[in-house]
Amino acid sequence: MYTKNGKKIFDLRSAHESINLGFNHPAVLEAIRNQLDEVIYVTDDFATEPTALLAQRLAQLSPGDSNKKIWFGQSGAGAVEAALKAARFAQYVKRKGDNDSGHKSNDYYSYPYKIISRYRSWHGSTAGALSVSGDPRRWFAEPLVVPGTVFGPDVYPYRSPFGDDPDGLKSAEYINYQIEMEGGSNFVAAVLIEPVVGSNGIIPAPLAYIKRIREICDHHDIFLIVDETMTGFGRTGKFLAIEHYDVEPDIIIMGKALGSYIPLSACILSEKVWKHFDDSIFGHGQSFSGHALASKAALASLEVLLHPDFLPKVQDLGNYLGNRLNELATKYEFIGDVRGIGFMWTLELVKNKERKEPVRSTSQKYSTNPIGQIATYLRDVKNIYIPSDKFGIWITPPLITTKDEIDYIVDAIDEALEKTEESNLW
């Protein structure tokens, strides 16, 4: 980016992870210009070719059978709202059908409505999405949040609430326990997860954990919702992060980079969910749902992303980035953990490496700390932007970043760490 006075800024967080292909990819811009001469927008009472083609592509590209249905919105939070409604409404229709057929269930409430989420999570700032977010930003809205959320433990091998839990199975089993204690399938509609926790630490889930969560949802006959708003569209080296785990979600949420420069999100429903709306209403909608111009931008972006050489290069350079960051961890005692996958990494900073004492606690998210000082140095001296409100150094460059740019980024972070090493903030 260039400021009005000509200063160049490298956005190391890719505009909130929304511009995976950079700010002005020529193929995407050309597709947008061409679509301006066609249909730009009609209401969702009608279909357009770009919207239909995009729905077809997302159904094919997402894990599992392609017999899916897609709801389009303008933000990840809007797609989360759709996912929550879809899970709850489908469970309601399903339960009503069971009762109509004479099935006897232990109902103490009209239908399963509870969502099991996790403390280290962020799903958006609208009322429903905020209510299922464990992030401290939820606290600003309390007690005016939507009821029905139960927060489970984080899958966080470096700092697990269970102590030693490298595969995350203790965390998974506790969620299984919570579902039982919250009434099982009579009360619980779905489990909502980010396969790689985003805003709350960039924490890739262990393979065993994701597979066990899928088994738990199947056992209780509840839905698994996977929020790929930040992790989707190639961020982790695959189209969706859940592909690393060979698991099929029931509902997938996409947003951010999907429409490139035009707001677009998607809620992808598997047949297991959407079949309950064949004879029932899915009570959700938005005026600009399925926007033709945004859909055309997404289709053009997909052509770039799915070129045979593109994602393998992201994986290779992502590994290179991870190796360079791990070199820093051997140099500085206050780097407690290096985590990431693809082009999604963080350096977790600590006051004491042996005790894993964080530079700030969750309740001190907005307090003065070394991360803010490092962010200021990178911005003012090295022309690199990172957020200062995270729990570590945030490294999520655009997927078009080159090896030379990675070297510049890591060298700049090294310099910033060295400058702040003697800070009284540690």
Is the model more confident about 208 or about 420? 208
Topology, domain 309-420 = Aspartate Aminotransferase, domain 1 (3.90.1150)
| Residue 283 binned pLDDT confidence (cut-offs 50, 70, 90) | confident
pLDDT for residue 11:
97
Q: What does the pLDDT read at residue 285?
A: 86
What top-level class would CATH report for the domain 31-305? Answer: alpha beta
The pTM (predicted TM-score) of the whole model is: 0.95
108 pLDDT higher than 70: no
Residue 171 has pLDDT above 90, yes or no: yes
Per-residue pLDDT at 425? 58
Q: In this predicted structure, what is the pLDDT of residue 331?
A: 95
Instruction: Delimit the domains of the chain by residue range.
Output: 31-305, 309-420
E-only strand ranges, 270-377 = 335-341, 344-352, 357-358
Whole-number pLDDT of residue 145: 93
Q: What is the DSSP letter of 195?
A: S
Nearest to 386 by CA among 202, 257, 115: 202
| pLDDT tens per residue, range 192-223 | 999 999 999 999 999 999 999 999 999 999 99
CB within 8 Å of 281: residues ≥ 6 apart: none
Q: What is the pLDDT of residue 36?
A: 97
Confidence of residue 107 (pLDDT cuts 50, 70, 90): low
Strand partners for 223: 190
Each residue's pLDDT tens digit, 235-248:
999 999 999 999 99
Distance CA 205, CA 95 (A): 32
pLDDT over 70 percentage in the chain = 96
Which pLDDT belongs to residue 130? 97
Same topology, domains 31-305 and 309-420? Answer is no
What token pair was written down for 33? 């210009």
